[in-house]
Amino acid sequence: MRIENNLQFYSSAKAPTARLEQAFLEEMMKYAFPQVGAAGFSGGLGEDQFASFMNREYAQMLATRIELGVEEVDHG
């Protein structure tokens, strides 16, 4: 089996680094926001199940607005 690295899959060469920044921010938000069920007034099981979707959307918005400098890392 032959696997090729084809960057044409992405809309631009910058897309993989943008997705990496988004994934990093998403993981950071898991710990930044209050844990589900920590307070007396929470959404319960439904909030627990859908919190990852909200974190993903927040991370996507932040990744487009801030620059973490992932593409500036020297690979040489």
73 secondary structure, DSSP code: S
> Is the per-residue pLDDT at 45 higher than 60?
yes
**pLDDT score for 3:** 62
- What pLDDT is stored for residue 1 in this prediction? 65
Q: What is the pTM of this model?
A: 0.62
pLDDT at 5: 61
Q: Contact at 8 Å (CB) between 52 and 7?
A: no
Q: How confident is the prediction for the chain on average, in pLDDT?
A: 75
Q: What does the pLDDT look like over 7-31, one tens digit per residue?
A: 555 455 557 788 888 899 999 988 8
- Whether the CB-CB separation of 25 and 59 falls below 8 Å is answered with yes
